[in-house]
Amino acid sequence: MPFTKGEGLSFNCQFVGGWVDISKESFNNIVREYNLADVVQAHGPKYNQEKSVFYNNADIFILPTFYRKKVFPLVLLEAMQHGLAIVSTAEGGIPDIVIDEQTGFIILKKDGEGLVQKLEYLIQNPELRKKMDEEGKRRFENLFTLKKFEQNFTNILKRAVAN
């Protein structure tokens, strides 16, 4: 069930990242087929400040992966650091990052309809989205900063040496 402009919701979708599952040409063909060129754009990979611009201009971050190789996607931590509600799948360590219905939503793998439903819900409920934004940023600051990583790693090493 494709998300269409005719459903009365205002949206703009920015795809950022390398071409992995689909070629740029195939992507653009699909965008044209669904008449979405005015609201869907692909930008390819972005790094550092260029990437931050996209985070800072976003309302929702989506990573509907179904690859086991996405064990602990750092891109989700970056999204949380920027205070974004997340929609993702329960693949690998993602449920340890995104808390369903608190910092975002976890959907089933390859569930386009579920993805559309969660996006519609977040678009229609900006107060909930703001609450998820804040919860995600707080979760990042409490668990995933470099300082927190260093503290946890130091504690692991101390326990290992003590045993």
pLDDT one-digit tens code per residue, 108-159 = 999 999 999 999 999 999 999 999 999 999 999 999 999 999 999 999 999 9
Q: Which ranges in 42-144 belong to alpha helices (H)? A: 48-56, 74-81, 94-97, 112-124, 126-143
Rounded to an integer, what distance in angstroms lies between the CA atom of residue 87 and that of residue 128? Answer: 13
Instruction: Indicate whether this model's pTM tops 0.75.
Output: yes
What's the CATH fold of domain 5-162?
Rossmann fold (3.40.50)
Rounded to an integer, what distance in angstroms lies between the CA atom of residue 140 and that of residue 103? Answer: 10
Amino acid symbol at 21:
D
Rounded to an integer, what distance in angstroms lies between the CA atom of residue 131 and that of residue 134? Answer: 5
Work out the burial of residue 72: count CB atoms within 10 Å of its CB; fewer than 13 is exposed, 13-18 middle, 19 or more buried.
exposed
Q: Are 77 and 97 in contact (CB under 8 A)?
A: yes
Each residue of 13-51: pLDDT tens digit? 999 999 988 899 999 999 999 999 999 999 999 999 999
Work out the burial of residue 124: count CB atoms within 10 Å of its CB; fewer than 13 is exposed, 13-18 middle, 19 or more buried.
exposed
Structure tokens given for 82 = 């920027």
